[in-house]
Amino acid sequence: MIIGLTGTIASGKSEIAKILKDKGFEHHTYSDILREEAKKQNIQPTRENLQRLGNKIKEESKNLGILSKLIIENSKSGNIIADGIRTVDEIKELKKYPHAYVIGIGAPQNLRFERMKSRKRAGDPLTFEQFKEIDDHENKGLTKGQDINNCLKKADFTIINDGSFENLKNNIHKILKKINA
């Protein structure tokens, strides 16, 4: 089974991945593929650089869903988490495979900014204004290669993650029951 995760910045995609890993899923992120390639090319792994690199890889391969394809090809098991989908083309590529599902996740912007600050990831914006600008652009498809709102519309399941971790866990278990039914 393949479960793709799409959603807004700091909405809880990594938390869902942890829940699924505990169920035996193999975790892959789109940004890790890009970070590895950035390292090979001696490129600083900033958000902007990774976005440019992703666009370049897609253009050069002439496959706009190449990152999904790479995740699946590099997997060692049948249960895969494809974490961090940012384009509809990546969803289309995942959906070429049997038993592929996409979970969309969102949360209020101010809550996501607080979560983002606490994770202390390199390259994350430091102020709410910077966060809001990046978030709004990515969600509306104004940043090339980033179209979160349309990805959320294509999701098979959607979660608003504005509660506890236990609540999120319960939502994931409900989705897994529906998929396996």
The confidence score (pLDDT) of residue 65 equals: 87
* CA end-to-end span of the chain: 13
Q: Domain extents for the chain? A: 2-180
Sheet holding 157-160, edge to edge: 26-29, 80-85, 2-7, 100-106, 157-160
Structure tokens that stand for 70 in this block: 């790479």
The confidence score (pLDDT) of residue 145 equals: 60
> What's the average pLDDT block by block, 10 residues per block, for the chain (181 residues)?
94 95 93 88 86 84 85 89 93 94 96 90 86 83 73 96 96 95 55
CATH superfamily of 2-180: P-loop containing nucleotide triphosphate hydrolases (3.40.50.300)
The confidence score (pLDDT) of residue 139 equals: 75
DSSP 143: B
Q: State how far the Cα of 80 lies from the Cα of 24, in Å rounded to an integer.
A: 9
144: helix, coil or strand? coil
Closest CA to 102 of 22, 13, 18: 13
